[in-house]
Amino acid sequence: MTEKQKGPMTLSRFDKLASNRQRLLLVGVFGFIVVLFVFPLIASGFWMRTLTLLFLLAAMAQGWNFIGGYTGYAAFGNVAFFGIGAYGTALSMLRLHFPFLPALLVGGAAAMAFAVVIGLPVLRLKGHYFAIATVALATALGEVADFWTDFTGGAAGLTLPFFRPISLSNYFFYYLALLLVLLGLGLTYLIMNRKLGYSWVAIREDEDAAKMMGINTTWAKVVAFALSALMAGLAGGIYAYWNTFVLAEEVFKIEYTLQMILATVLGGPGTIFGPFIGAFMYYILITLLVFFLPVGQLHETILGTIIILVMVFTPQGIMDFLSGRKKLTLSSLLENIRMHRV
């Protein structure tokens, strides 16, 4: 058999293995989701609260994946939408006396509307100019919320009523956050199999070429920004009621944006399950390191080292290997470094 004959057979075999691995990954993720639904039956309150925070991070990462992973715009200010969602939900409950779920929708819609208004001018910027503009926007909103005492409560913050009955609050917020993650997964799957998803990928690869192909890049980018804001805003609203307190310095922390970016990059930007898996990787690492290294800041050093190694050897995230696109070998890891000029 000649080399020309061997090549297609080898490629076909690898494609078949990759396809089987993707099916196993799909089954594994859905099986894991089923486990998460029954987990509260055997878990302590601590682990339920930990997983609730993890779900909120995963939802925010899924939102960031729309604008950063698929569209290729490095948004560093998505915490602004988290804060808007938190304040929108809190103010709807306190000022308008809305029940929580309608107030949550108001908070998400407010974040989404703000993203559309701001996105039209800001998304004309590219690269580091866009990144700096989004960071400045988030910082400015935090300052406004901190000093607008009559509306936001200023430094005193806003206090929300407790969820009733209190004994069921952990279950309520756990399942609500989990449903938000499932919404993100479903939304990502639907969009990436539609024209809008293909438009995002085209913009990421070459925006000028996408325009020449007839894609309305402005509309596509604004929709990605708005959906990113929606996910962050809903997560912020859930966090606000769960925490029963909203304070500007708490809900406009830039580190929240960094966490959602890290989760997406670790799992795999521009993939359906990447942000979900990356959030678990990030949060489980944080939790374990804090457990075993409670003194000092050594756990942050170790976490940073792990993240650097993952980003150096797998620039496209762990999904590159879980999905079967690449084999987990030393040669493939070194090839990643060469391809991405790390």
Contact (CB, 8 A) for 177 and 56: yes
Rounded-to-integer distance, Cα 162 and Cα 169, Å: 9
Tokens representing 322?
């879980």
* pLDDT tens-digit map of 44-90: 888 899 899 999 999 999 999 999 999 999 899 999 999 999 999 99
pLDDT at site 286: 81
* pLDDT tens-digit map of 217-247: 999 999 999 999 999 999 999 999 999 999 9
Rounded-to-integer distance, Cα 37 and Cα 39, Å: 6
Span of 9-18, 29-38, 203-212 with lowest mean pLDDT: 9-18
Rounded-to-integer distance, Cα 183 and Cα 301, Å: 34
pLDDT at site 5: 45
Contacts of 154 (CB under 8 A, 6+ apart): 146, 147, 148, 248
Mean of the pLDDT values across residues 135-155? 88
Q: Is the overall model pTM greater than 0.85, yes or no? A: yes
Rounded-to-integer distance, Cα 141 and Cα 112, Å: 15
Rounded-to-integer distance, Cα 216 and Cα 224, Å: 13
